[in-house]
Every structure is written in structure tokens, then in C-alpha cells.
Amino acid sequence: MAETINEVKFSDAAMAEIQRYISHYPEGRQKSALLPILHIAQAEFGGWVGPDVMDKIAEILDIQPIEVYEVATFYTMFNLKPVGKHVLEVCRTGPCCLRGADELIDTLKRKLNIEEGETSADGMFTLKPVECLASCGTGPMLQVRELFYENLDSEERVDEFLAMMRQKEHEVPTWAQ
């Protein structure tokens, strides 16, 4: 059964961080804290933000839910459906394509047995092609949370990367440390 707004509950640490962001803005301008709050929500609720979570954010900020939806659906860093433990955001913009981004995506699809936007059967990886991540000189590359993994230009390097990620835990968000 879907959670209702009242069932969506941020941890005390997350709420404290949300209030800290809101306090940066003058009365009536609390919507300006929306982007960091979406990041906090995504970290808090398993790496994605569903409608109930977005409704809760709207309630906290005293804005309309559509104002949250339109921001969350615009930026690719917000996941709108459940994802795997590690979301592989692979750059597929021109410079990375010239250095093998398409091959990297094909290799990941083959090794993980998934298509773009899907999650591997073990729940470990979600494949998500995105636009330029500003690491154009070190492509082909991908991002997992805040970290870049670069020069993934051979099958061996992809194997090393996947093996490393299988051992890796989620990074704990800074505000929760």
C-alpha cells in the first residue's frame, strides 16, 4: 500500500538539515531550499523520491506539490522510481562519445543484463545515461552519487569498477555523519 503524506517521516537529523537550509532564506522564500531538500529526501528514502515524498516536501515548504514535481522531473539527478544500490550515471554527451561512451554503455548493459533505466536482478546497479558531467577530458566516465569514475575505456577497467562497487557501501550523506 502506498504511503500517505503522514507516513512519510524524515529522520530528526534530516529534518534538522532541512530546517537549516530553509533558514538561509527570508520569510516567504522558503521554496529556494527545494533543491537541497530533494537531495536530502533522496538520500533518506532509498535513493529515489516518489509522489508521497514530494507531497511531504511541498507540505514542509508550504508550496503546491506541482512546484516540487516540476523541479524533481527536470533534473536527472533525482530518481522518480526505485533504483539499485548504485546508480551508474553514464555521460553520453559528444566528447565522452568520441572516447567510447556508447561502448561503455553497451558493456554495462551486457555485463549487468539490463537496458537503460533498468536495475540489475541483484538490485545492485541501475543504468542511467545522462548529459555532460563536466569531466569531458577523462571520458568515458560515469558518476555514482558525488563521485566520478573516469577513463572506463576497456572491458578490464569496467570489470574492476564493477567489482569495486559490489564491495562498496552507500556513502553516508554529510549531514548524517
Going by C-alpha positions, the residue among 107, 133, 109 that lies closest to residue 119 is 109
Q: How far is the CB of 153 from ligand FES (least distance, A)?
A: 12
Is residue 79 part of the contact set for ligand FES (CB under 6 A)?
A: no
Cell of 145: 552519487
- Residue written as grid cell 556513502: 171
Among 139, 144, 152, 162, binds ligand FES (CB under 6 A): 139
Is residue 95 part of the contact set for ligand FES (CB under 6 A)?
A: yes
46: phi then psi, degrees, rounded to nearest 5 = 75, 25
Is residue 176 part of the contact set for ligand FES (CB under 6 A)?
A: no
- Of all helices (H) and strands (E), which one includes residue 41? helix 34-44
146 three-class SS: coil
Is residue 173 part of the contact set for ligand FES (CB under 6 A)?
A: no
Q: How far is the CB of 100 from ligand FES (least distance, A)?
A: 11
Residue 22's CB is within 10 A of a number of other CB atoms, namely: 18
Among 30, 120, 126, 135, binds ligand FES (CB under 6 A): 135
Cell of 55: 507531497
Is residue 129 part of the contact set for ligand FES (CB under 6 A)?
A: no
Residues making contact with ligand FES (CB under 6 A) = 91, 93, 95-96, 132-136, 139, 141
